[in-house]
Amino acid sequence: MGLQSGLFAANSAAGKPAGLNARSFAGQMLRRFPNGSAPMFALTSQSGKSKAKASTHGYFSKTMTFLVVTTTATQLIGDTTFAAWPSTPGITVGMLFWNARTYEVIRITAVNSLVSVTCTRGFGRVAAAAVNIGDKWVQAGTAFEEGSNRPTARRLDTQYIPNYTQIFRNAWALTATARASYTEMPGVSNIAENKNDCAMFHSVDIESAMIFSQPKMDVSGATPIHATQGIMDAMRQYAAANVNAAAATTNFDQLVALVEPAFLYSTNLGNAKNRMGFCDAVGMRVLNAIGRKSGQVQMTTKETRFGMRYTEFAFYKGTIDLVEHPILNGLSYAATGMMMVMDMPALKLAYMDGRDTIHENYGVAGNGRNDSGQDSQGGSLLSELAVELINPAACALVTGLTLGAA
């Protein structure tokens, strides 16, 4: 082993991290500024968090799959072997499938190959019928005989999503004279005001990265710089079908088609029909117009128990709690708006051990001089975290919202 000098970096030997902070910075922002500039970051305090063990932080995404098979060949009424069953992975003996055209139910009795199954036809009240190309067969549960053996094990496929942590740093500072001076805001010290500004900058930096950042590990310098993958990039990479542009004029049916994919899969089965919708001002205006003109939407202004105000967009698929997002308002999308439809339980932040927002202060004792002898006081905030979007399929991104119609 050789000797090294200089700053210890995350890609060298493992070091023991500092103790984990007991207080949640995201939770503090939610309680103090429920309608502030970083609503998603604040809400992550409600959905739990995970731990990142290294700056290279990957996680797994798993989405519930509902089996629907589309036949690619015709079958006669008496055929019990389907030799052109498109795909058999995940299909096991004992499964029932219902034909959406003829209403016939079949029971799988053998899986012969990757494209072939044997079945019992007319397994129910409806008799067997000829099968056409393009017939859709929906899994209708399983049925086993009394005293049957244990069935073949099944599991959901997992997708590994590589990502990185990102280091966020913000500082506040003021001279000792400024500290001793009277503030223009009665009852608020200059120190408190500067600390609040620092906290807002820190939360907005994290919020912006959660939305826009792309994964990057830059090792060109003496120590690496890493950036985490944000929500928009994750949706475009892992749920591209859910990212769409609206028409110049969007009516109710078109809007439903744009957001409907996000309601097919849910992370929280206890509240599977609820999503958050983060919009800019134009998007909010278009959605309000659609709701008002269509007559098929109930729009109600509500407030959460911790003070966050939102507009509930209730329609037959479920509810979207709409929040106008100040960062999205600053995008200058010309005359078009946008909406990020989020399954909030799918969004988590993975913090490095001991780096869930570190508060550091200097110049707070004695005569107020800092460690370098400067006549000043200040401090900093540091967070290292990675964004996890564990169920991208339950989210959607709609851009190009311009005008709303019935």
pLDDT in tens, 244-266: 999 989 999 999 999 999 998 88
**Considering the chain, what percentage of its residues have pLDDT values greater than 70?**
84
How many alpha carbons lie under 13 Å from residue 263 in its C-beta half-sphere? 18
pLDDT band at 271 (very low <50, low <70, confident <90, very high): confident
Name the residue among 22, 48, 74, 52 with its Cα closest to residue 267. 48
The per-residue pLDDT for 24 is 60
315 contacts 256 by C-beta, under 8 angstroms: yes
| CATH 2.40.30 boundaries in the chain | 68-147
For the segment 5-26, the average pLDDT, to the nearest whole number, is: 37
Handedness of CA 41, 46, 47, 51 (dihedral sign): positive
- pLDDT tens digits, 283-301: 999 999 999 898 888 888 8
pLDDT band at 212 (very low <50, low <70, confident <90, very high): very high
pLDDT band at 28 (very low <50, low <70, confident <90, very high): low
pLDDT surpasses 90 at 152: no
Better-scored residue on pLDDT, 185 or 154: 154
The per-residue pLDDT for 14 is 34
67 contacts 91 by C-beta, under 8 angstroms: yes
236-240, 306-310, 376-380: the lowest-pLDDT one: 306-310
Length of the chain: 406
The per-residue pLDDT for 20 is 25
Strand-strand pairing, 81-82 and 396-401: unpaired
| CATH 3.90.1690 boundaries in the chain | 25-61+161-364+373-404
pLDDT band at 374 (very low <50, low <70, confident <90, very high): confident
The per-residue pLDDT for 40 is 86
- pLDDT tens digits, 38-57: 888 888 877 777 889 999 99
**CA distance from start to end of the chain:** 72
43 contacts 307 by C-beta, under 8 angstroms: no
Which of 1.10.10, 2.40.30, 2.30.130, 1.20.58 would CATH assign to domain 68-147? 2.40.30
70-84, 339-353, 371-385: the lowest-pLDDT one: 371-385
pLDDT band at 220 (very low <50, low <70, confident <90, very high): very high
* Distances in whole angstroms, Cα of residue 367 to Cα of each of 177, 256, 363, 376, 377: 11, 63, 8, 9, 10
373: Cβ contacts below 8 Å, ≥ 6 apart: none
| Strand-pair partners of 303 | 309
In the numeric block, the tokens 């308002």 are attached to: 329
| CATH of segment(s) 25-61+161-364+373-404 | 3.90.1690
pLDDT surpasses 80 at 89: no
For the segment 305-334, the average pLDDT, to the nearest whole number, is: 83
24: Cβ contacts below 8 Å, ≥ 6 apart: 45, 49, 356, 357
pLDDT surpasses 70 at 27: no
